[in-house]
C-alpha cells in the first residue's frame, strides 16, 4: 500500500505545478545547500574551487600579458614583472592555486610594480577565505544535523492492540539505540484517512490527533531503555468503532512522531514512522525484552524488540465498553 510516511520516516509526497519561481531557493542558499545530497554538495564545492582557481588564473595571465611580462614579448633584463615567474597560462593557474589556498612556495610572488596585481591578490585571498568558510560550515552543519541522530531511534515493526490496565489500547514500542538521552521527548500521533464531510466534500489525508502516553506520562520521557507507548481506545478514539474482523478493511495510516533535543548538541530532533492496517495486530502484546543479569546490570534483548505474543483480547472496543457497563449494572 502507498503510504505518506515510510517506515524510516521519509515523506512520500510530490509537488506539481508550483507557480513559485525557483529563484526563491537561491535566496535561501544556505538551506538549499544543506538539503542537497552529498554527491551534489561535493560537486558544487569542487566546481567552485576549480572555477575560482581557473578564473583567477586567467586574470593573472591577462595582467602578465598587458604588462608584457610573458617570454614571447622578450622582456629586457631590467624589466620588473608584476608577478615573478609567470611564463604562461599553466604557471598563472598554479600561482592562482598557491594564492587562494595560501600555499606560498616562494617561487612565484607579486612585486611592487603593479597596483592591479596587488588589488587582485587581495581580492582573491578574501574570496578564498569566504569559499573555505562556507564549505567548512556547510559540511559541519550537514554532518551534525539531527537527521543522523534520528537513525538511532527505532520503532517496532508492528503496532498491537490488547488490554492494558483493564482498557483496550493500541501499543507501540520505541527504543533509543544510544546511551545518550533525548531531552524533553514528546510522543504523539496523527491518523491519516480519507473522510467525507456532511457537505459532501472529500478530504484526502484528513488528520486526526492520536494521543500516546506511557505510565510516567508523555512529557520529558526517561528514554534510557525501550518504552512501550499506548493509545487508549475510548469513545473519543477513531479506533473505537473498529473491530478485529474489520480493521484490515479500513483505509488509514497511523503516523507516530517523537520529538526531542539531542543531549550532545542541543539540536532538536524528530523521528517518524507509520503503520497501515496490515501492520496493526489485534489481540497481541509485545514480548518482554528487559531482564536483570547476575552482575546486577539491566540487559535489553533487541532480538525480541518486535516480537509479539497472542493474548486474550475483546474483538472490539465497543464490546469491552458494553461489558463493563453490564457488570456495573449488575453490581
Does residue 183 sit in the same domain as residue 326? yes
Does residue 69 sit in the same domain as residue 163? no
Residue 255 in any domain: the answer is yes
Mean pLDDT check: name the lowest of 155-169, 225-239, 307-321.
Answer: 307-321
Does residue 121 sit in the same domain as residue 164? no
pLDDT at 329: 65
pLDDT at 249: 87
Does residue 130 sit in the same domain as residue 160? no
The predicted model gives 126-135 an average pLDDT of: 91
Does residue 233 sit in the same domain as residue 313? yes
Last residue of a domain, one of 144, 162, 188: 144
Residue 4 in any domain: the answer is no
Candidates 50, 39, 34; CA nearest to 128 is: 50
Does residue 299 sit in the same domain as residue 225? yes
Residue 217 structural domain: 148-330
Residue 161 in any domain: the answer is yes
CB 161 within 8 A of CB 154: no
pLDDT at 321: 66
The CATH code of the domain that includes 114 is 1.10.287.70
Does residue 154 sit in the same domain as residue 139? no
Mean pLDDT check: name the lowest of 10-24, 39-53, 125-139, 260-274.
Answer: 10-24
Residue 221 in any domain: the answer is yes
Does residue 127 sit in the same domain as residue 183? no
pTM summary value: 0.72
Residue 7 in any domain: the answer is no
Does residue 172 sit in the same domain as residue 228? yes
Does residue 197 sit in the same domain as residue 310? yes
Residue 322 in any domain: the answer is yes
DSSP letter string, 96-147? HHHHHTT---SSS-B-SS-HHHHHHHHHHHHHHHHHHHHHHHHHHHHHT-HH
Angle at CA of residue 49, ends 108 and 24, nearest 5°: 145
Beta strands in the chain (DSSP E): 153-155, 159-164, 167-176, 182-196, 202-211, 227-232, 252-262, 268-275, 280-282, 284-286, 290-292, 298-300, 308-310
For 209, how many CA atoms within 13 A lie in the half-sphere containing its CB?
A: 4
pLDDT at 93: 93
Mean pLDDT check: name the lowest of 50-64, 86-100, 139-153.
Answer: 139-153
Does residue 289 sit in the same domain as residue 164? yes
Last residue of a domain, one of 115, 144, 173: 144
pLDDT at 319: 74
Residue 1 in any domain: the answer is no
Amino acid at each position: 500500500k502507498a503510504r505518506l510516511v515510510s517506515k524510516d520516516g521519509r515523506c512520500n509526497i510530490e509537488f506539481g505545478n508550483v507557480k513559485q519561481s525557483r529563484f526563491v531557493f537561491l535566496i535561501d542558499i544556505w538551506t538549499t545547500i544543506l538539503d542537497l545530497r552529498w554527491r551534489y554538495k561535493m560537486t558544487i564545492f569542487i566546481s567552485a574551487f576549480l572555477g575560482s582557481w581557473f578564473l583567477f588564473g586567467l586574470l593573472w595571465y591577462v595582467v602578465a600579458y598587458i604588462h608584457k611580462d610573458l617570454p614571447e614579448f622578450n622582456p629586457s633584463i631590467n624589466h620588473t614583472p608584476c608577478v615573478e615567474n609567470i611564463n604562461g597560462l599553466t604557471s598563472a593557474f598554479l600561482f592562482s592555486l598557491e594564492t587562494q589556498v595560501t600555499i606560498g612556495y616562494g617561487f612565484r610572488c607579486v612585486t611592487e610594480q603593479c597596483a592591479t596585481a596587488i588589488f587582485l591578490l587581495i581580492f582573491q585571498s578574501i574570496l578564498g577565505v569566504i569559499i573555505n568558510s562556507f564549505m567548512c560550515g556547510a559540511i559541519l552543519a550537514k554532518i551534525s544535523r539531527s537527521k543522523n541522530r534520528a537513525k538511532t531511534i527505532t520503532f517496532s515493526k508492528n503496532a498491537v492492540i490488547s488490554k492494558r490496565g483493564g482498557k483496550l489500547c493500541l501499543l507501540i514500542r520505541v527504543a533509543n539505540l544510544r546511551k545518550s538521552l533525548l531531552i524533553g521527548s514528546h510522543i504523539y500521533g496523527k491518523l491519516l484517512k480519507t473522510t467525507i464531510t456532511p457537505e459532501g466534500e472529500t478530504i484526502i489525508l484528513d488528520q486526526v490527533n492520536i494521543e500516546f502516553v506511557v505510565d510516567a506520562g508523555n512529557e520529558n520521557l526517561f528514554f534510557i531503555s525501550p518504552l512501550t507507548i499506548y493509545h487508549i481506545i475510548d469513545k473519543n478514539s477513531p479506533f473505537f468503532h473498529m473491530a478485529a474482523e474489520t480493521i484490515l478493511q479500513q483505509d488509514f495510516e497511523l503516523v507516530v512522531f517523537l520529538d526531542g533535543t539531542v543531549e550532545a548538541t542541543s539540536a532538536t530532533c524528530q523521528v517518524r514512522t507509520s503503520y497501515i492496517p496490515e501492520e496493526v495486530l489485534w489481540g497481541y502484546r509485545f514480548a518482554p525484552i528487559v531482564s536483570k543479569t547476575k552482575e546486577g546490570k539491566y540487559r535489553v534483548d533487541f532480538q525480541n524488540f518486535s516480537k509479539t505474543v497472542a493474548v486474550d483480547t475483546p474483538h472490539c472496543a465497543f464490546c469491552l465498553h458494553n461489558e463493563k457497563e453490564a457488570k456495573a449494572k449488575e453490581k
